[in-house]
Chain A
Amino acid sequence: MLAIENYLIVSAILFAIGTIGVLTKRNAIVIFMCIEMMLNAVNLTFIAFSRHLGNIDGQIFVFFVMTVAAAEAAVGLALMIAFFKNRESIDVEDVNLLKL
């Protein structure tokens, strides 16, 4: 098995790219995909540490993260459809009803 640092660096790079995507994109669905990518980067960290320490708990945590991501996908995409019905757009700049 390779050293754990390799996996952690890949995970850090993926997380940073996901952060850049969340902060710079306008399309809500692309932002959503970047969030999924960040969740996956964290999952990789969990599994790398789980293997490194010989402790199965990290992989159980990944299991729960996947479940929450699936629930989040269902509700988040339903929210986007509801928003699109009202505004004819999924640009995050149009989510401004609370703005003064």
Chain B
Amino acid sequence: MESIFFLVVAAVAVISSILVVTCKNPINSALSLVMTFFCLATFYVMLDAPFMAATQVIVYAGAIMVLIIFVIMLLNVRVETVKRGTHAVVAGSAIGLFVLFQTVWFLMKGSMTGKVGDMTKEQIVSVGHVELIGKALFTDFLLPFEVTSVLLLAAIVGAVILAKKKI
């Protein structure tokens, strides 16, 4: 049952991501990308990470995509008329397929090992995923968390300065 559901969601994710690349109109690409983000949120739920799924929907499908669609409509981007030469398309696709081949090859060759932690499904259910994330974020990762706030401040200042009338 779970594997059938996984296959359906994976198929939707891959098809909508192909649509992102093939659509002529940027708005259609953006809507397909939202579909991909929702499929990824479904995967996160299947991987017992409900908080990450909620963040995915709120931050990506909500904030970032609204920003992108807003800019597309603000700039009134027309449908792509001038096609890129076939050489560029062939070369780009070849490199992309090479990347795919490389990753799948490493996947087949390597073993899935790493630093094993103590997070189990029972713990996620009993303690709660948000609490686990929050504990890790405010103990082991406190410094990166604070540095992130500086990054966001820099992004705010940068966006305001770049969007000024005279640059």
Contacts and interface: CB of A to CB of B under 8 A. Distances in A.
A63 to B, nearest CB: 7
B166 to A, nearest CB: 10
A63 B21 contact: no
B18 interface: yes
A64 B148 contact: yes
Contacts of B71: 29, 77, 80-81
A35 B152 CA distance: 19
Contact of B37 (A40, A62, A70): A40
A33 interface: yes
Contacts of A90: 75, 77
Interface residues of A, number: 71
A100 interface: no
Q: Is the interface of B mostly helix, strand, loop or mixed?
A: helix
A36 B155 contact: no
Interface in B114-134: 114-121, 132-133
Nearest to A71: B155
The A contact surface, by secondary structure, is: helix
Contact of A16 (B3, B33, B99, B148): B99
30 contacts: A6-B6, A9-B107, A19-B99, A20-B97, A23-B96, A24-B84, A26-B80, A29-B26, A32-B68, A36-B33, A40-B37, A40-B60, A44-B43, A47-B43, A50-B47, A53-B116, A56-B133, A59-B51, A63-B137, A67-B152, A69-B64, A71-B152, A71-B155, A73-B67, A75-B159, A78-B158, A79-B162, A81-B163, A85-B167, A90-B77
Interface of B: 2-3, 6, 10, 13-14, 17-18, 20-21, 26, 29-30, 33, 36-37, 40, 43-44, 46-49, 51-52, 55-56, 59-60, 63-64, 67-68, 71-72, 74-75, 77, 80, 82, 84, 88-89, 91-93, 95-97, 99-100, 103-104, 107, 112-121, 132-133, 136-137, 140-141, 144, 148, 151-152, 154-156, 158-160, 162-163, 167
